[in-house]
Amino acid sequence: MDQRIADLLRLLELEQLEVNLFRGESRDIGSPQVFGGQVLGQALSAASATVEGRIVHSLHAYFLRRGDCNAPIVYQVDRSLDGHSFSNRRVVAIQHGAPIFNMAASFQIVEQGFDHQIQMPQVPRPETLLDSSRPPPELLERLPQRVRRFLEQPRPFEFRIVRPLDDLHPGAGHLSREVWFRAVSRLPDEEKLHRSLLAYVSDYFLLDTATLPHGGASLSGTLVMASIDHAMWFHRPLRVDDWLLYAVESPSASGARGFARAGVFGLDGRLVASTAQEGLVRTKKGS
């Protein structure tokens, strides 16, 4: 197994301290604070560890404080409901004695019912596109140091952007984008693991899309960006080690907040998940 994905699996493998109490390590991936996807994935792992015979179908989370990359995070799980078909869990992530994140997640037994979905966007297949996991060297060297540090980090996922943009050139951008992604090596056949990994990777590209119409602000170093909330719905079985299409759009930005939503599709066109996020998008003072 590739070392990058092996390290991510270790990150999602929490230490159980007590009943309903777990601890996870932190990683510095080049961002100013703990990566939001890490906290999402670990919180979902903690909640899933308290549920038997059911799989997560939705989660709703709020990021409260910046996480410290140099300290572990403790996850406290409240078993709110174990009903006939559904279970509900509330998770609070604690660091340095204060909550930094909270989440509610719902789990369901496997059932059959009505089935319909929207169509996947018509885009080129991933094998026809270039690897976009890192910007080209000529672009990297022109970026601010803190942005470059984030983009240069090795990642456990491969990305292929359908419509690459040079974010350093201002001008009217797009309201949407599509990105193919998959884990860099094969993974175990465990649905709850793949859903936790999807929660992790879903924090890439989502809020950034709200800056596209404003011509390159996300990589210019002039913005302060931070996730406020994050929601996910898991519709169908999925594998993150197979190609998935992240079709993201930003319907609105206002009040120093950007909003984005997305569908996640398999190569066969199945809609496997949906996500939505609102975050702080504020120009630095003096910029």
Nearby residues of 43 by Cβ (< 8 Å), 6 or more positions away: 61, 75, 91, 93, 101, 103, 105
CA distance 260 to 253: 9
Residue 42 bears catalytic tag: no
- Reported in sequence order, the residue ranges of the chain that DSSP labels E, i.e. its strands, are 15-18, 21-24, 55-63, 73-82, 86-95, 98-108, 157-161, 176-183, 223-234, 244-254, 257-266, 271-283
**CA-to-CA dists, residue 84 to 56, 212, 238, 279, angstroms:** 15, 45, 25, 36
Strand-pairing partners, residue 280, are: 226, 257
Reading the block at residue 161, the tokens are: 């952007």
Q: Which DSSP helix (H) or strand (E) runs through 45?
A: helix 36-48
CB contact at 8 A, 34 and 67: yes
Give the containing element (helix H, strand E) for 44: helix 36-48
Active site annotation includes 132: no
Q: Which of the residues 48, 167, 203, 250 is marked catalytic?
A: 203
Torsion angle, alpha carbons of 212, 213, 219, 221, to 10: -140
- In the residue annotation, 203 being an active-site residue is answered as yes
Question: Which of 218, 220, 227, 250 is an active site residue?
Answer: 227
Beta carbons within 8 Å of 54's beta carbon, 6+ residues apart: 86, 87, 107, 108, 109
Residue 69 burial (10 A CB sphere; 0-12, 13-18, 19+)? middle
What value does the CA radius of gyration of the chain take, rounded to a whole number of Å?
A: 19
Torsion angle in degrees (nearest 10) through CA of 236, 239, 244, 246: 60
Catalytic residues: 203, 227, 277
